Amino acid sequence: MFSRKTKEALCGYLFIMPNLAGFLAFTLLPVAASLLLSFTNWDIFNSQNSEFIGLRNFTSIIGLKLRTDNMTGLTDWLCFWNHLHANDPRFWQYLWNTFFFMIGIPLSMFGSLALALVMNTKLRGINFFRALYFIPTIAAGVAMYQLWRWLLNPDFGLLNQLLSVVGINGPNWLGSPLWVKPALIFMGFWTSIGGYNMLLYLAGLQGIPPHLYEAADIDGASNWQKFRNITWPMLSSTTFFIVTMSLIGAFQGGFDSLYVLTRGGPAGSSTTIAYYIYQKAFEQYYMGYASALAWILFIFVFAATLLNWKFGGRRVHYY
């Protein structure tokens, strides 16, 4: 009836079918719809009132206005940026927050690398330790965030209690615009240091051929020289992968922890762009505006990935 080849192809399409349906329903069509929505002021409860408004969402998000009314002398004109006003100042604040949280990326990456180096010394009981350090990663959910809310409690939380032992009067971590970001970065560090990145680094370390180190030993290389000239370059593809995934994650993620711990506060000091999209779409129901925000976020993710490929990818050492 059918030739072997046709049959194989038919089978292939059949097996991909659920996937293709899911791709259409949950990715392709929604992407197209959301692009359209970003040019409208769509109201989910009252779609009759929605209309096409061109680029207005985008200009209200990233647009800047020059206020000329109180600009008098030449110096005012030369320093015109002092008179620029953002249409949506929150957007810029939240963008800054999103980038600020990225301080956590190198911290947890180098923490994971250090941990992997210690774990790679062929110890007994390594499986046990590896599992232990992984616990925070698997437990990362509402229950763990509630725990952190308690740990960071200003008066009775464990962290401030411990700090008071050494005579430090700990801040109101989650209630202070200054300390909320460091507190969340600290929690992220605790959650992720023994997680996926550590496992990837450990696998990378185990893949380095031992003869490289033997040769270095013969040449009398120090531990630091061995790390700098063998370990680090041999791990470059792992590092590259981790940086790429962390950047993507930093732009998109973090919703759950923010929702449980701070609701983006105080005064928006822990709101990220991803969280802002949630607020606009599902608390204020500005669906068009939120769609435009989501596309701006996507452009950032895309640009970050591209830059990383261009500049980081070049340094990757393949063997």
Partner 1 sequence: MKQHFRSVVAHACLSSGALLMLIPLAWMILTSLKTFTEVYREPPVWLPQKPMWSNYVEALTSFDFALYLRNSLVVVILAITGTFLSSAMAAYAFARLRAKGKEAFFILLLSTMMLPAQVTVIPVFRMYVSFGWINTLYPMFVPAWLGVNVFAIFLLRQFFASIPQDYVDSARIDGASEWAIIFRVFVALSKPAILTVIVFTFMGSWNDLWTPLLFVHDQQLYTLPLALFCFLSKTIGVRGVQWELMMAASAIVIIPLIVVFFFSQRYFVEGITMTGLKA
Site for partner 1 in 144-163 (CB under 8 A): 144, 146-151, 153, 156, 158, 161
CB of 72 to partner 1, least distance (A): 44
* Angle 269-274-278 from CA coordinates, rounded to 5°: 95
Nearer to partner 1, 84 or 135 (CB): 135
Nearer to partner 1, 99 or 278 (CB): 278
Closest by CA position to 94, among listed 299, 245, 279: 279
Q: Are 61 and 293 in contact (CB under 8 A)?
A: yes
CB of 300 to partner 1, least distance (A): 9
Of positions 88, 255, 263, 265, contacts partner 1 by CB under 8 A: 255
Separation of first and last alpha carbons in the chain: 48
Of positions 61, 105, 116, 119, contacts partner 1 by CB under 8 A: 119
Give the tokens for residue 270: 């822990």
Asked whether position 190 contacts partner 1 by CB under 8 A, the answer is: yes
Of positions 1, 2, 3, 18, contacts partner 1 by CB under 8 A: 18
Give the tokens for residue 62: 């990233």
Q: Phi/psi of residue 253, each to 5°? A: -95, -160
Q: Are 307 and 299 in contact (CB under 8 A)?
A: no
CB of 101 to partner 1, least distance (A): 15
Residues in Cβ contact with 278 at an 8 Å cutoff, skipping those fewer than 6 apart: 255, 259
Nearer to partner 1, 76 or 209 (CB): 209
Residues in Cβ contact with 63 at an 8 Å cutoff, skipping those fewer than 6 apart: 86, 87, 88
Q: Is 218 exposed, middle or buried (0-12, 13-18, 19+ CB in 10 A)?
A: exposed
Nearer to partner 1, 74 or 143 (CB): 143
Positive or negative, the CA dihedral 194, 195, 197, 198 is: positive
**Residues between 24 and 43 that touch partner 1 (CB under 8 A):** 25-27, 29-31, 33-34, 37
Number of CB atoms found within 10 A of residue 298's CB: 15
**Residues between 260 and 279 that touch partner 1 (CB under 8 A):** 260, 274, 277-278
Asked whether position 217 contacts partner 1 by CB under 8 A, the answer is: no
List, in sequence order, every residue forming a beta bridge with 64; answer none if it has no partner: 86
Of positions 2, 13, 311, 318, contacts partner 1 by CB under 8 A: 13
Q: Are 136 and 194 in contact (CB under 8 A)?
A: yes
Nearer to partner 1, 162 or 267 (CB): 162
**Residues between 43 and 82 that touch partner 1 (CB under 8 A):** 44
Residue carrying structure tokens 């490929």:
309
CB of 248 to partner 1, least distance (A): 6
**Residues between 124 and 143 that touch partner 1 (CB under 8 A):** 127, 129-136, 138-143
CB of 183 to partner 1, least distance (A): 13
Of positions 118, 178, 215, 307, contacts partner 1 by CB under 8 A: 118
* Angle 73-89-60 from CA coordinates, rounded to 5°: 95
**Residues between 287 and 316 that touch partner 1 (CB under 8 A):** 287, 290-291, 293-295, 297-298, 301-302, 305
